[in-house]
Amino acid sequence: MPTVSEPGVLVALGLIVIMIILLGAGVWIGLALIGVSIAATAMYSKSMPGDAMATTIFGSLSSWTLTALPLFIWMGEILFRSRISEYMFRGLAPWMGALPGRLMQVNVVGCAIFAAISGSSAATCATIGKITMPELRKRRYPEAMVVGSLAGAGTLGLLIPPSIIMIVYGATADVSINKLFIAGVVPGLMLALLFMGYVGLWAWFNRGSIPPNDIRMGFVEKVRSSAGLLPAVLLIAGVLGSIYAGIATATESAVIGVAGALILSALQGGLTWRVFVQTVAGAMRTTTMIMLILAGSSFLTLAMGFTGIPRQLAEWVGRLGLSQGELLVALTALFIVLGCLLDGISMVVLTLAVLLPVLQKAGFDLLWFGIYIVLVVEMAQITPPVGLNLFVLQSLAKRDIGFVSRVSFPFFLVMVLAVVLIYLYPGLVTWLPARISD
């Protein structure tokens, strides 16, 4: 069987050991990446590591594309502290009563709507969970399905645009963020329907566990209650509609989103000076954390180029003769394992430095792969011990992490099905962005 050259293997193992030591010592991921990059650059390049680091990091972080990142994070922070989720529950609940699963479907639909104006999985899960969980408990819905559906549907915050991780992937892989956003729409809606289908199927076979519909409204009353959905719909139209119509870039749509979120929050009476400061501080903390990881990733990409490992790995994979499907199975297994140890953004930036040449050699469409990797990162949100949604729901449900992980597992399998579907039918990803231009 073809093998990577022995020096390449030894270097790769050495860098991995350094990374493990740094992470095990509690060093931040961004700083650990920079430390490994300095070691690799010192061994394989004649240039000074400091000069290479300064030039590379400045070049990567001064990208105009990344301007959208803090803006979408800020928009999510504003909405997290607004009352929009309360109005969404009131607007959705009357319409969900007739569906199999009844109000448990509000978890999925509510998360799908909030995902389209948030960009964060944890924020989506926490915001919708704070509203729906007390209501569903009060009505005696089965807690296992309530928590599981929130865990699964909360991950839609990464896939349905705007998505923070899509911005990170687009900036790292040099893929149009506009097209990534549009490419995520159909798979995101498909996954939401799959979640709804599973909830409905479970409810069909466990009818005795579902309380009777206690919301009695006529059609006109339902329409009136739907007014609570109007703010979210307007914000979605402003953010995504401007991109789809070709009148705004991702960064410009982020400005529209922040302005809209501030106006909605002010109109709802939730925008005090204290809340405003909290949203800015929260956005700054999250942005600087992500930027530090991106800085380390960009330097690692340069250092990996000096070592020659990505080129050797790409050649090795090419000689193995794996089909795209076989390679994808191996990568999915790798990402699931990494998801047990790392957060989603770290997974993306850590692996892309090495994987990009492999993906190009294997003939993958990087736009399609971006949606694939977001789906796999979604799985990581509900895999212990690092799944962020699990911790959010553990806090909300006051249950141990084992219970939350167990009830989330069926939704993990639904996401595996979604990956299979976009592989078998890549047009689910590529059809819509092919109809827009940058």
> Are 34 and 53 contacting, i.e. CB atoms less than 8 angstroms apart?
yes
Q: Which of 185, 187, 186, 176 is nearest to 365 (CA)?
A: 176
Residue 214: the pLDDT is 67
Q: How far is CA 438 from the centre of its chain?
A: 23
144 pLDDT above the threshold of 50:
yes
Please tell me the predicted confidence (pLDDT) of residue 410: 93
CB-count burial class (<10 Å; 0-12, 13-18, 19+) for 1: exposed
Q: What is the DSSP string of 197-229?
A: HHHHHHHHHTGGGSPPP-----HHHHHHHGGGG
Task: Please report, as a single letter, which amino acid is at residue 14.
Answer: G
Residues 423 and 364: beta-carbon distance below 8 Å:
no
Label residues 411-431 b or e (16+ Cβ within 10 Å = b). bbebbeebbebbbeeeebbbe
For residue 101, the model assigns a pLDDT of 82
Contacts of 92 (CB under 8 A, 6+ apart): 106, 109, 110, 113, 229
Please give the pLDDT value at position 10. 64
**Residue 50, pLDDT above cutoff 80:** no
What pLDDT, on a 0 to 100 scale, did the predictor assign at position 409?
92
Local structure of residue 365 (DSSP, 8 states): -
Q: Write the pLDDT tens digit of every residue in 210-268.
A: 887 766 677 777 777 777 778 888 888 888 788 777 788 778 888 888 898 898 888 87
Helices (H), 308-400: 309-320, 324-339, 344-362, 366-380, 388-397
What is the mean pLDDT of the segment spanning 291-319?
A: 71
Range among 84-88, 115-119, 140-144 with highest mean pLDDT value: 140-144
Q: Contact 146/105 with Cβ under 8 angstroms?
A: no
- Residue linked to tokens 């529950």: 89
DSSP for 230-249 reads HHHHHHHHHHHHHHHTTS--
The predicted pLDDT at position 283 comes to 84
Q: The tokens of 133 are what?
A: 């969980």
More confident position, 2 or 145: 145
Which pLDDT band, with edges at 50, 70 and 90, does 3 fall under? very low
Give buried/exposed letters for 189-228 (b at 16+ CB in 10 A, else e).
Answer: bbbbebbbebbbebbeeeeeebeeeebeeeeeeeeebbeb
| HSE value, Cβ hemisphere, 13 Å, CA-based, for 15 | 25
- Give dist(CA 111, CA 105) in Å, integer: 10
